[in-house]
Amino acid sequence: MRVVVLNIGSSQFSDNDCTREYLHLAESNGYEVCFVYLASVKKPSPKTYIHSGAVVSLKSVCDDLRPDMVVCSRALNARIQRNLEKALCVNVVDRTELILSLFEKRATSSAGKCQVELARLSYMQTKLVRGWTHLERQRGGIGLRGGPGETQIEVDRRILRENIHKTKHKLDKLVKTRRLNRQRRQSNRPYVVALVGYTNAGKSTLFNLLTQSTAWANDQLFATLDPLVRRVRYPGLNTEVVLVDTVGFMRDLPEPLVTAFHSTLEEITHSDLILHIVDCGDPELHQKKQSVNDALVAISAQDIPTFTVYNKADLNPDFSVLGDADCMVSSINSTGIESLVQRIAQHCQGSE
């Protein structure tokens, strides 16, 4: 599917890294990006977010390239999205819908699929406006019928509320099962290590090395959605170590997704040690590291002992760590893995 990316920033020249990340997000969705339109917006237009001159210019691009859709780097309210679609004569997808679409592709477990479905239903509620509903493009999936209009909006709202209630009920059952499994693990007093980090920092590849497993790892955003749990026993330890690979973080994650995945992130708060995985070759290393730290504060996990693990050392051999709780590894050539395992073992012994 060919798409034009509408990248909105406060300046056309200061958001290169955000542009790169959003392009990666679109490509991870399987889209072919045929053009990137940069729009500088200091004060959003109440009608189309970008200003009228940019709308005309973007319409010209769409007329020439005939993309299947325009994907916007910002979350848009329903009226702005509708107005842009009318002006451009092409479907418009905002940041929230793009991330939701990617999460739908990545979810494999019942809990993961249920959480994504709940997030999508919550998002769809925000897209109902008089004279146009976002559900018109998705009617077949949720059993809606009839044409647009005020009465139809009420029908849409009622069906969405019912579906949200059913999905929440199903998710509650799955969450209870997950908590029971966690309680069984805790009854055996295992030492739990959670791997966290910005999406695509290499958590799953490192997880596979530390556990000798074959979980799917790829150079794509949100390759892991469902928490993976493996038991390992390291030399010199009298107890098993439970390693948990968690969903990656990203700046400005849509609120419906954060809410829906709260039970998944809960796994982090029950760990004895957090390994914060950072891509040491990323030019936005410090900003992304802070984004993850802010997320840990949001889920009340900031007081759990944390090692910062700078991954992908093979791509940045000149990088050096400063803190005592920092270490460098390469998941590709296994550099620093033995040292990291020793540090995990030492911390485990010290906590017994």
Higher pLDDT, 2 or 124: 2
Taking the C-alpha atoms of residue 63 and residue 50, their distance in angstroms, rounded to an integer, is 18
Do 251 and 127 share a structural domain? no
Domain ranges, residue 111:
101-171
Q: What is the CATH number of the domain that holds 200?
A: 3.40.50.300
DSSP per-residue codes, 52-66:
HHHHHHHHHHHHHH-
Mean pLDDT of the region 86-111: 87
Residue 181 inside a domain? The answer is: no
Q: Contact at 8 Å (CB) between 100 and 119? A: yes
Q: What is the pLDDT of residues 125-141, one digit of tens each?
A: 888 765 444 455 444 44
**pLDDT at site 268:** 87
Residue 19 inside a domain? The answer is: yes
Domain boundary among 93, 122, 151: 93
Do 337 and 206 share a structural domain? yes
Domain count across the chain: 3
Do 340 and 292 share a structural domain? yes
- Residue 48: count other Cβ atoms within 10 Å of its Cβ: 21
Q: What is the pLDDT of residues 203-247, one digit of tens each?
A: 888 988 888 865 444 444 444 556 778 888 887 777 788 898 887
Q: Where is average pLDDT lowest: 52-66, 156-170, 254-268?
A: 254-268
> Among residues of the chain, what percentage have pLDDT more than 90?
28
**pLDDT at site 187:** 60
Domain boundary among 60, 93, 126: 93
**pLDDT at site 17:** 57
Taking the C-alpha atoms of residue 134 and residue 289, their distance in angstroms, rounded to an integer, is 35
Map residue 314 onto helix, strand or coil. Answer: helix
Angle (CA) 104 149 79, round 5°: 60
Pull the structure tokens for residue 321: 């760590």
Mean pLDDT of the region 308-322: 84
Do 321 and 299 share a structural domain? yes
Q: H-type helices in the chain, by residue range?
A: 16-28, 52-65, 78-88, 95-106, 110-125, 139-142, 150-187, 203-211, 255-260, 262-269, 285-298, 337-351
Map residue 308 onto helix, strand or coil. Answer: strand
Do 222 and 318 share a structural domain? yes
Pull the structure tokens for residue 184: 């069984």
- Residue 42: count other Cβ atoms within 10 Å of its Cβ: 7
Do 53 and 22 share a structural domain? yes
Do 238 and 160 share a structural domain? no
Do 192 and 162 share a structural domain? no
Do 107 and 84 share a structural domain? no
Position of tokens 């949001």? 298
User: At 102, is the pLDDT very low, low, confident or very high (cuts 50, 70, 90)?
Assistant: confident
**pLDDT at site 139:** 41
Higher pLDDT, 270 or 73: 73
Angle (CA) 186 247 33, round 5°: 170
